[in-house]
A and B are shown apart, each in its own frame.
Chain A
């Protein structure tokens, strides 16, 4: 191989190398052009955009709207239930106060008997009181049943404590009724041929028993009432969250 040939070959290689360098320099200085291949290209295509639009408007938006509706419906349903429950609980409270009003009537009847001198209370008068007592007893039984039936409207966890407190109220209420019955009994403590001082002591004992029964009824009533009220406040608060 002569030197002329070697020189030509070196020059040719240098030329190739220069061309390659030039191309590389050009590529580095110019911003890269997207390759325009694969998913990207497909997404950029008109068909791709059409399909994506169709999915968004045909599937995602209705699903979102349906979920929103469902949440709203649940909220409305829950609110309606709470409102219904609140109405029933208020009704229950009303029935409970009506029960207590009967205890007040019983106490007043007892006072009427106690305040009337034995001599002034003739047989028809006593018979009239007994009739009133029987009527009150019947009304009390009915009213107790009406209230007891409404305890179901209170939240589950509160029902048993309310029932127990209610039963706790029944005992002094029953005592109050028994006390009035005793006052009206023919062989009651106020009758008989006792000395007037003994009679006064007996009358005092009966009066204090009547008052004590009322005090215990009052205290037990307050306890049940505060429980009912507490539950009412809690449900009202929960209902308020939906407004």
Chain B
């Protein structure tokens, strides 16, 4: 009898292990589609830290910044969404570089660079003539090496790995031209940093989870994306039952 129980337990354990290590991503039945997770590691996970670091550098170029005014109606109509957001000068010249990070001074005066791929959100806490003080929430605050070693689930990752940094950023470039958050592409909306009032929040995860770009989620290794709670899924927009998105109205620029 004991032998029978132990063999059943071994079988159950074996099945569990098999399920855990089964290759490929787990599709969820979301929005009428298969809903594969949006991740750069869809079929094969990263083989080494360098691959994650490469994915993290690339992910910085695919982030979406959602800016909501403090008088938002809540229906999404007054959210300015900057897809593939960059930080650049307002009227760039051919030789101007484009940034994918917030660079500023911390409270202790040291220069801090926060890549867009590791920022969850920020709030403008105060505003001076040529600088803004931001309270930036860094997430996921985990190194590629830790990610590979710990293999966290999405729930573990979202519950922790978060810290807040106070950052003083300049609203103008070194040569005095205004800096803007700008969207990539011909229709690119822009939001000058000088227009941001104290209290304005910015969110890098404010987009619909089915409208996101898979290359954003450098941290979504199989242990994360196979979590059933992982919300970012690949669903064709036309097959979603949602109402068409509200028109984008830029209100923040009118301040």
Contact = CB atoms under 8 A, between A and B. Distances in A.
A235 interface: no
B42 A97 contact: no
Contact of B236 (A100, A168, A204, A227): A100
B197 to A, nearest CB: 25
Contacts of A76: none
Given A104-B236, A221-B237, A211 B44 contact: no
A222 to B, nearest CB: 5
Contact of A211 (B234, B239, B246): B234
Nearest to A99: B238
23 contacts: A101-B239, A107-B234, A108-B236, A161-B187, A164-B186, A168-B185, A197-B44, A201-B47, A203-B43, A204-B42, A207-B43, A208-B42, A211-B214, A211-B234, A212-B213, A215-B211, A218-B236, A221-B238, A222-B245, A225-B244, A225-B245, A226-B246, A229-B246
Given A100-B236, A218-B236, A211 B38 contact: yes
Contact of B210 (A107, A203, A218): A218
Contacts of B34: 111
B17 interface: no
B237 A218 contact: yes
A215 to B, nearest CB: 4
B248 A226 contact: yes
Nearest to B216: A215
B211 to A, nearest CB: 5
Nearest to B207: A219
B23 to A, nearest CB: 7
Nearest to A107: B236
Interface string B190-230: 00000000000000000000111111000000000000000
A174 interface: no
A211 B244 contact: no
A217 to B, nearest CB: 7
A20 B176 CA distance: 98
A230 B247 contact: yes
Contacts of A197: 44, 47
Interface of A: 97, 100-101, 103-104, 107-108, 111, 161, 164-165, 168, 197, 200-201, 203-204, 207-208, 211-212, 214-219, 221-223, 225-227, 229-230, 233
Contact of A111 (B36, B237, B239, B247): B36
Given A211-B234, A215-B234, A165 B212 contact: no
Nearest to B38: A211
A168 B211 contact: no
Contact of B245 (A111, A164, A204, A226): A226
Interface string B57-72: 0000000000000000
B32 to A, nearest CB: 10
A212 B212 CA distance: 9
Given A208-B215, A222-B245, A100 B238 contact: yes
B41 interface: yes
B211 A214 contact: no
Contacts of B237: 100, 104, 217-218, 221-222, 225
B88 interface: no
B56 interface: no
Contacts of B247: 226-227, 229-230, 233
Interface in B233-255: 234, 236-239, 244-248
Given A168-B185, A212-B214, A226-B247, A204 B238 contact: no
A200 B42 contact: no
Nearest to A103: B236
B104 interface: no
